[in-house]
Amino acid sequence: MTSAHVIALDAMGGDRAPEIVVAGANVARVRYPDTQFRLFGQREKLEKLLKRFPKLDGVSEIIDAEMVIEPDMKPSQALRRGGKSSMRMAIDDVKMGKASGVVSAGNTGALMAMAKLALRTLPGINRPAIASTFPTQRGQSVMLDLGANIDCDADNLVQFAVMGAAFARSIQGQRRPIVGLLNVGSEESKGHEEIRRAAEILRNAELPLEFYGFVEGNDITEGTVDVVVADGFSGNIALKTAEGTASMYSDFLRATFRRSLFSKLGYWLAKPALNALKNRVDPRQYNGGMFLGLNGVAVKSHGGTDAQGYANAIGFAVDMLTQGFNEKVIKDVELLGQFSGVPVEAVNS
């Protein structure tokens, strides 16, 4: 029912680019047969790789890009010197309307800076945010901002809430997502002034979401809400703390099963069940930092992912386009207009 989407790929970004990018595009092609790809990078390398996947080759175009944005390049440097980079050219492709979405596994800061400059934000959105899905006790949720904005005012947070909810409706099929603001307690008097003011606006606005109120760090994995909204500083710390804790648990568990002959045998017996657990928290499944709020679709893949993970990042971009994510955000943010000036009486520390 949907028309073909064209996705621009920064084929040179990521730890194992361009191999993983091409292999990932091939996995995505099977899942989304209508999609076309525009691969930005070193033509010779890409031509050689595409020969392995004739069907992908048939729906792909290579655009030669001589430069690569290095992982340690500062966003300001990337803006100044990255004009001919595979990353920038892929972004500009969206700007020029040749592609409708861009995916990169390269330098996050550079990608955000260049995407912001080239694509600009959607009407009514002051700043883009980075969102990601993650596993919870009840299923999956989405959290934003994960680091694009260190300092956020109340309007930023409210706009993040609108975007997060539109994402949950578009991608996770929730009709009326439950949205919470990340804080250090659930009482109305808790936290910074900005967060209390954002809560007040969300409590009064009529939006296609249900505002839950404040949530705490443990609510993230408990799945208390469908959408966790945070400033980029707290959101980044929460995300990385969760990743670190999960990885510590996996490592401890691995060491545990190696302790004795009995535990090794136990592992062997429980292996199918343990594999199911592994799938449930498989990071590849959650591979995609969605840059929400841009006038165009941009997804950041984890730099170290494999073809499956990269295909998932492409999948997020295609789904956002198919579900009209940006159109939803524009519509919802219009509803906000009348509420953003509400005086905040409830705010008194």
Give the binding site for a copy of itself (CB under 8 A): 135-137, 147, 150-151, 182, 184, 191-192, 216-222, 230, 232-234, 236-249, 251-253, 255-257, 259-260, 262-263, 265-274, 276-277, 280-281
Q: Cβ 196 to a copy of itself, closest distance in Å? A: 11
Nearest residue (CB) to a copy of itself, 260 versus 338: 260
- Asked whether the beta carbons of 329 and 167 are under 8 A apart, the reply is no
Q: Cβ 211 to a copy of itself, closest distance in Å? A: 19
Nearest residue (CB) to a copy of itself, 54 versus 262: 262
Question: Distance between CA atoms of 103 and 244, rounded to whole angstroms?
Answer: 25
Q: Cβ 156 to a copy of itself, closest distance in Å? A: 15
Under DSSP, is residue 2 helix (H, G, I), strand (E, B) or coil? Answer: coil
Annotate 30-58 with b (16+ C-beta within 10 A) or e (fewer): eebeebbbbbbbbeebbeebbeebeebbe
Nearest residue (CB) to a copy of itself, 1 versus 273: 273
Q: Are strands 297-300 and 289-292 parallel, antiparallel or unpaired?
A: antiparallel
Question: Distance between CA atoms of 318 and 36, rounded to whole angstroms?
Answer: 10
CA angle 73, 40, 44 (to 5 degrees): 110
Q: Cβ 220 to a copy of itself, closest distance in Å? A: 6
Q: Is the dihedral of CA 74, 128, 229, 187 positive or negative?
A: positive
Nearest residue (CB) to a copy of itself, 22 versus 215: 215
Question: Distance between CA atoms of 308 and 285, rounded to whole angstroms?
Answer: 8
Phi-psi region of 85 (alpha: psi -120 to 50; beta: other; left: phi over 0): beta
Nearest residue (CB) to a copy of itself, 10 versus 219: 219
Q: Cβ 323 to a copy of itself, closest distance in Å? A: 28
Q: Cβ 166 to a copy of itself, closest distance in Å? A: 24
Backbone angles phi, psi at 85, to 5 degrees: -80, 155
| Terminal C-alpha separation, the chain | 52
Q: Cβ 153 to a copy of itself, closest distance in Å? A: 14
Nearest residue (CB) to a copy of itself, 33 versus 244: 244
Q: Cβ 245 to a copy of itself, closest distance in Å? A: 4
Nearest residue (CB) to a copy of itself, 42 versus 236: 236
Nearest residue (CB) to a copy of itself, 227 versus 320: 227
Q: Which residue has the tokens 């989405």?
A: 142
